Structure 1
């Protein structure tokens, strides 16, 4: 695409650790617009969707934290993304915790018959109110987008599901709850854990992912959680899990996606500058965006 539209979603309502609401600011401070300027004819930064500083509210029935407010803010995000796609621009969303993907996918998927999703993450984010150990909605967005979970979230935008399980590929998983493992087995979601990445190599994982999604989808959304990377490379995340994807493997993955030209929308989430080292994680996010959008070494 020739035009890029950046939307910040400074939401930290999906979990308990503060600071991830500053993720969009940290990514902008890492000069995301300057980095991507030569890769698009036009870049517009639409600013941040206002979230505010509300108190934590636990839904008495479901025990989910901030359910109604996340639903409301996700609706606003979905509407903004819908407008961006409608005018032919590429939506790039800066998070915020991973619960923002509920709104992102609600806004994107209405434009595709068979949207594909690459979930680049240490976690499956496939929990529900019944399986979640915490009640944190940032561990549920992929399940919600599959139509599994609380009706307020699954019916966002007036339709469900947003994506089919056979159109999803999870890359980098290494921390899955029991309920998530069961759901993966039941639905047949394609998952490349760190075992597969170690054994096959990232090049093979991405070759298979691209071939798999190319034959069954008409657009692909990339949802990249910075905790998919090893904490040595991306320390500024709320739920770090050691033994993750390396910085260089991640660049290769983004470069291969750029070559394949299959990505039609993207979000980079869970950058928490409070937990970071000199904005390292935000800078890594921006560097990966460069590779995703076609930056070349030569």
Structure 2
């Protein structure tokens, strides 16, 4: 297992807090002046990226402008100033028109980011780097009661003395080779949908939502939870997917053997990051709000005077794991 340089990408603009069926408001009074939006995820790799943009007023139909260059962008780690660099063009792991710094972090590091851009209020945000995901083992097994189900089992021991927040996502791809040869090729990877019906830790629906909403869904197949129910305990998280054994395909009279592979990404999150993801998920599952039976829910932000997220995150990943054979 090892830390990954890949930055965790979480994208969505802020939504309105108010529901039209509960409150009356004048759109001309809402967000007349754009606010600064900041996204940065310190600790998700050894390269920290900071992206700035303007929020759009509710009546503005224009395109959001990403990649703003500020007049004063400051990063402090444990009250020590750390210089940020500007990337006009894209670099490995760094998008074009963004700030970055190569910086390693330790558990408990305090990170503060302030930013000032002409025409909007200066913003600031604070987060703390969480401890790495406390993983013991990851394995894939056929579910004994349903042999057509493949179960991913993630065993970990929660940190006993702190409140902790975790997330997992799974990538899948196809490994294939021509029958009778040993030369292996790989298809593109994609995010895998996981069935969490055997996992009470991820059961987030309740009340009227169960009646109107149907199946609760995790946005972009990122499954997250807090340690509230398992404080300090050893626990095995169980996620299911359809079992697909090796299969053959034919291309231009050549036969290929295909095998599914999976890679597991495990995150420890700061409280700010967890609350942000939770708010996004609540919005995506808020069908009651869409039919004006409940208030619309706001996107959480820890950016003072602005929008977005500066959230601490530690990421670990497994190697690619083969699906089980028959």
Which TM-score applies when normalising by structure 1?
A: 0.27
Of Structure 1 and Structure 2, which has the larger fraction of its residues in strand?
2
